Amino acid sequence: MHEQTRIRLADVPWTLDAALLARWAAAAVAALEGHRAEIDQINVFPVADRDTGTNMLLTMRAAAAGCSRDDGLVVAAEALARGALLGARGNSGVILSQVLRGVAEAVSEATAAAEAPCAGAVLADALDRGARLAEKSVTRPQEGTVLTVLAAAADGAAAARSDRLDAVAVAAVAAARTALRATPDQLPALSRAGVVDAGGFGLVVVLEALAALVTGRAPADAPDATADIAPLLGAASGTHVGADVHTGPGGLPGYEVMFLLDGSDAGRAAGLRAALDRVGDAVAVVGDGAPDGGGAWHVHVHCTDIGAALEAGMAAGRPHGVRVAPLVDREPDAFPRARAVLAVVCGPETAELARTAGADVLVRGCPPPGDAATDTATDADEVLQDEVLLAEAVAGTGARHVAVVNCGAALAPAAERVAGTARRAGQEVVVVPSASVVAGLAALAVHDPGRHAGDDVVAMTEAAAGTRSGALQVAAATALTWAGPCAPGDVLGLVDGEVVLIAPDLSVGALWLASRMLTTGGELVTVLLGDGVADALADGLAAQLHREHPEVDVVVHRGARPGHPLELGVE
């Protein structure tokens, strides 16, 4: 192409479309991953719990998961906003969700008017809407917080008086940075610690990700969002030492309480804000923009009385997805524990087994068994929820080295992603692959806290890999399996997710399955019984195996996954 006819990417005016929103969401996630540790480190207000960067990252991931470049602009923007609302973490995540709600409202109105493609003027409107929504969502807005930085970004975008998307984005970032640098002069807690506001810093990172895209800069060429505020990203001056529980009136421990609310409306949500303001502080109640406020709401409060917060929620609608976390003042980069093993299990019985083995525990819901399929999650919302829960659990161990025992194939991809993110933030996390609950229990059985962490991981991995997994399942319909046709009520024996036998009842099925699995050898058979299955089934199986395989030990516990009357592990 002749040099004079070559058009640079930066010379092409951008417009807001679904593809750009999806790229912005992905770029913002990547940018927050890169700056998460810095943002966490300077988080001193309202509580120095060092999690603002983590919360904003998890919120942006939830938003990005629902946004597709293949959708229309309005659908993509709404998915971005709704994903952020439902996945919001912490006060900073709630505020970020309102920025994206502002985008959704602005593009919806502009598209309905159909006067021109959505560009700079729509972005300016989106930031203005987001700033107003965010300030309205909290009961006691304060200067020097992310609200101040967001308002400045909106003012800067409006002052650009342009419909060029790149010009407006750059103006918003410049104004946000200026406001961010001023936050220590506005908030005493920041001044004492010698840092800028953590939530405001995170917002600058998100807005800079958009500006880098629409100005045509490659990520490597984009200026560092922290470059001009580096002197104010100090070590938080050691104001908080160790890891101390944040307390409220009377020295009671403080908690961060979050939940989703359905069956409410704008009036009841306003009443809930007022009620929570009497219960605690850092109150935020935000909706999904549904007509008459009849959609979903996200609720956040710091308080000492968890019950009072939930009672207020029940008076305003139907709370669900409740999350409670202690408010802890943490020293930057401090890990109270050297190491931990985190086991992800399905129910209280296996949770107790894991705790007995010395593991921290995350209990997640188990999907019902499919038609002889392996336990692999396919629903995007379920995968995202698993990832968010696991990230919180890993951080919650407070350990520098964490070995995650996932107890099922479904969680493996999410566990690897969480481990990678945690490693970039300075926490050493490794995943012990275990394709089933019984394999996970085998790994935990050889866990030795006195052993070197690396050697312990190797031993657990070998134990999990050396365990063959089987289960019984009752056929719900006529089907053709690898073992032949089955009818409703037949007992299916599965090994590693594949049907290998069909039995007339549970007792016969258990014996046939165990015998089949022992044909290649084994020293220990672990039996997990499901709900409603009598102990006599396991007693009869153990007695028969002792007669036929006297060299084999049999251990019986409760805790099979829902839909499986019995699970077997052979080591």
Q: What pLDDT digit, counting tens, does each position of 405-444 carry?
A: 887 777 788 888 888 777 766 678 889 888 888 888 888 8
Which residue ranges make up each domain of the chain? Answer: 9-232, 252-330, 337-465, 468-570
- Average pLDDT of the chain to the nearest whole number: 80
Task: Output the pLDDT for position 91.
Answer: 83
Q: What is the pLDDT of residues 412-421, one digit of tens each?
A: 888 888 887 7
Strands 479-481 and 484-486: antiparallel
Among 224-228, 389-393, 499-503, the minimum mean pLDDT is found in 224-228
Is CATH 1.25.40.340 what the domain over 9-232 is classified as, yes or no?
yes
Task: Output the pLDDT for position 365.
Answer: 63
Q: What are the tokens at 203?
A: 């917002």
Q: What is the pLDDT of residues 88-105, one digit of tens each?
A: 888 888 889 999 999 999
Selected from 3.40.50, 3.30.460, 3.30.70, 2.60.40, the CATH number assigned to the domain covering 252-330 reads 3.30.70
Q: ∠ at Cα 196 (190, 201), nearest 5°? A: 140
Q: What are the tokens at 524?
A: 């220990």
Which amino acid belongs to residue 25? A
Alpha helical stretches, state H, 357-504: 380-396, 412-424, 437-445, 453-465
Name the fold adopted by 337-465.
Rossmann fold (3.40.50)
Cα(329)–Cα(450) distance, integer angstroms:
29
Band (pLDDT 50/70/90 cuts) for residue 528 is: confident
Largest distance between two CA atoms of the chain: 89
Strands 328-330 and 337-345: unpaired
Distances (CA, A) of 571 to 66, 273, 417: 42, 55, 29
Distances (CA, A) of 147 to 39, 108, 190, 491: 16, 24, 15, 59
Task: Output the pLDDT for position 555.
Answer: 86
Task: Output the pLDDT for position 386.
Answer: 66
Band (pLDDT 50/70/90 cuts) for residue 241 is: very low
**Mean pLDDT, rounded, for 368-390:** 52
Cα(540)–Cα(517) distance, integer angstroms:
17
The answer on pLDDT for 378 being more than 70 is: no
Q: What is the pLDDT of residues 141-162, one digit of tens each?
A: 788 888 999 999 999 999 999 8
The answer on pLDDT for 564 being more than 70 is: yes
- Residue of 557 and 559 predicted with greater confidence: 557
Task: Output the pLDDT for position 482.
Answer: 86
* pTM, two decimal places: 0.58
Q: What count of residues does the chain have?
A: 571
The answer on pLDDT for 330 being more than 60 is: no
Q: What is the pLDDT of residues 107-141, one digit of tens each?
A: 888 888 776 678 888 999 999 999 999 888 777 77
Task: Output the pLDDT for position 226.
Answer: 47
**From the centroid of its chain, how far is CA 10?**
35
Distances (CA, A) of 490 to 476, 478, 480, 487, 502: 8, 9, 12, 6, 7
**Mean pLDDT, rounded, for 493-498:** 84
Same fold, 9-232 and 468-570: no
Cα(471)–Cα(128) distance, integer angstroms:
56
**Mean pLDDT, rounded, for 35-47:** 79
**From the centroid of its chain, how far is CA 226?**
25
Q: Could you say which DSSP state residue 421 is in?
A: H
Task: Output the pLDDT for position 224.
Answer: 47
The beta-strand segments (E) located in 139-293 are 243-245, 255-262, 280-287
Percent of the chain with pLDDT over 70: 83
Task: Output the pLDDT for position 222.
Answer: 41
Among 70-74, 394-398, 498-502, 518-522, the range of highest mean pLDDT: 498-502
Burial of 142 (0-12, 13-18, 19+ CB in 10 A): middle
Q: Which CATH number applies to 468-570?
A: 3.30.1180.10
Task: Output the pLDDT for position 110.
Answer: 84
**Mean pLDDT, rounded, for 194-211:** 91
